[in-house]
Amino acid sequence: MGFKEWIERPAAHVAPGERSLSNVVRGAVARLTTPLLPDDYLHLINPLWSARELRGRIVEVRSETPDSATIVIRPGWGFDFGYSPGQYIGIGLHIDGKWHWRSYSLTSTPIRTDKVISIAVKAMPEGFLSSHLVGGVPEGTIVRLAAPQGDFVLPDPPPEKILFLTAGSGVTPIMSMLRTLDRRAADRGVDIADVVHVHSAPTAEDVMFRSELEQFDANHDRYRCHLQYTREQGKFALSQLDEVCPDWRERQTWACGPQQMLADISAHWEKAGLEDRVHLERFAVTRADTSGAGGTITFAKSGKTVTADGATTVLEAGESAGALMPFGCRMGICQTCVVPLQKGYVVDLRSGEEHGEGERVQTCISVAAGDCTIDA
């Protein structure tokens, strides 16, 4: 590769596919200042500027329910606003000396000009980061971002008939779809698609975006929302679909919610021979009881070494040691974090399967099983 091609390559790991002038300049700065870090200089000018990672600033925290909130973020350099409604992003916060990461669905629509995005977070009893985002993160906080990803998306143009089945925080990716349907219809001077939306929550107070859903229902003849308050009415039974949405078999369905709900929906659609008409989004990654014993992890390319326990993933360990590593969803779905294992063994937290020397491993869901060396 000649000098011209080398210097004009866009920055790596920032908005894949982006070849804007700013991204090329960041790439050039990163290469010309190696082994120095251009971020050391860029951060002095603007904390959102980075040649090696996506960053954003929290500009608003807006309560949705007593235990959930919308987080509005203004991304910095390199963020791809061409995401699809329904996709998720990774967000990282530096708390008590450690970076904490989680993936959240985007609730914003890509059809906007104010260059902000939003996620909605429900505080979970076992969720340290979610609780911090809902109850403790101040506006102005700088966060790290992973590029939008995911296949649970609304196509453009959308199907003529749509069914949304959601429960709890499973409504979050659907909000991006609904807002996008609304904006696209308004921009094109057409009516929205025919949408039936069944959403479950314990009580009316627990419904995220309740006022917006009710307003959407009032403003659009082709949108019908059925709210199921499970504490009073019980769990929504799929047998009720024939009453609530008689033509559900003709609709393309998007479903998001608890694991058991999605399993029931998958079985119901399969029994009807319609499995190709249902799209599922699973938030949780089921982990096996087996974990690694931990050990010393060496990152060959960066020369960093860190000792990690059997609950700390290779990716988390690398980041704590300052080793720059590829990452995406941080849930074991997107395969962005896959790197070769040079020596030793790691264990996959989901399956309990052990991987050895020469295999390619997902660092976001693998932990050390003794001393090991990663090609990163």
Give Cβ neighbours of residue 17 (< 8 Å, ≥ 6 apart). 80
pLDDT tier, 33 (very low <50, low <70, confident <90, very high otherwise): very low
| pLDDT of 129 above 50 | yes
**Phi, psi of 2, deg, nearest 5:** -75, 170
The percent of residues in the chain predicted with pLDDT above 90, rounded, is 56
Residue 100 in contact with residue 128, Cβ under 8 Å? Answer: yes
Residue 142: predicted pLDDT: 92
Residue 128: predicted pLDDT: 79
Among 289-293, 300-304, 365-369, where is mean pLDDT lowest?
Answer: 289-293
pLDDT tier, 233 (very low <50, low <70, confident <90, very high otherwise): very high
Higher pLDDT residue, 132 or 289? 132
Among 8-17, 63-72, 158-167, 271-280, where is mean pLDDT lowest?
Answer: 8-17
Higher pLDDT residue, 325 or 69? 69
> For the CA atoms of 342, 346, 348, 352, what is the dihedral angle to 10 degrees?
140
| pLDDT of 40 above 50 | no
Topology of the domain covering 295-374: Ubiquitin-like (UB roll) (3.10.20)
- What's the rounded mean pLDDT across residues 335-344? 89
For the domain 161-281, what is the CATH code?
3.40.50.80
List the chain domain ranges. 1-51, 53-150, 161-281, 295-374
Give Cβ neighbours of residue 104 (< 8 Å, ≥ 6 apart). 88, 89, 91, 119, 120, 121, 172
- What's the rounded mean pLDDT across residues 37-46? 49
Among 12-26, 113-127, 315-329, 362-376, where is mean pLDDT lowest?
Answer: 12-26
Residue 268: predicted pLDDT: 97
| pLDDT of 117 above 60 | yes
Among 11-15, 106-110, 186-190, 214-218, where is mean pLDDT lowest?
Answer: 11-15
* b/e burial code for range 81-99 (CB count within 10 A of at least 16 → b): eebbbbbbbbbbbeeeeee
Residue 293: predicted pLDDT: 78
The percent of residues in the chain predicted with pLDDT above 70, rounded, is 83
| pLDDT of 216 above 50 | yes
pLDDT tier, 238 (very low <50, low <70, confident <90, very high otherwise): very high
- What's the rounded mean pLDDT across residues 200-226? 96
Q: DSSP per residue over 299-362, as a string?
A: ETTTTEEEEE-TTSBHHHHHHHHT-----SSSSSSS-TTEEEEEES-EEETTT--EE-TT-EEE
**Exposed/middle/buried for residue 118 (C-beta within 10 Å: 0-12, 13-18, 19+):** buried
**Phi, psi of 129, deg, nearest 5:** -70, -40
| pLDDT of 8 above 60 | no
The pTM (predicted TM-score) of the whole model is 0.71
Q: Do the domains at 161-281 and 295-374 have one common CATH topology?
A: no
Topology of the domain covering 53-150: Elongation Factor Tu (Ef-tu); domain 3 (2.40.30)
Higher pLDDT residue, 241 or 189? 241
Residue 51: predicted pLDDT: 47
- Integer Cα distance of 166 and 56 in angstroms: 29
| pLDDT of 14 above 90 | no
| pLDDT of 109 above 60 | yes
User: What mean pLDDT, rounded, does the chain reach?
Assistant: 85
| pLDDT of 31 above 60 | no
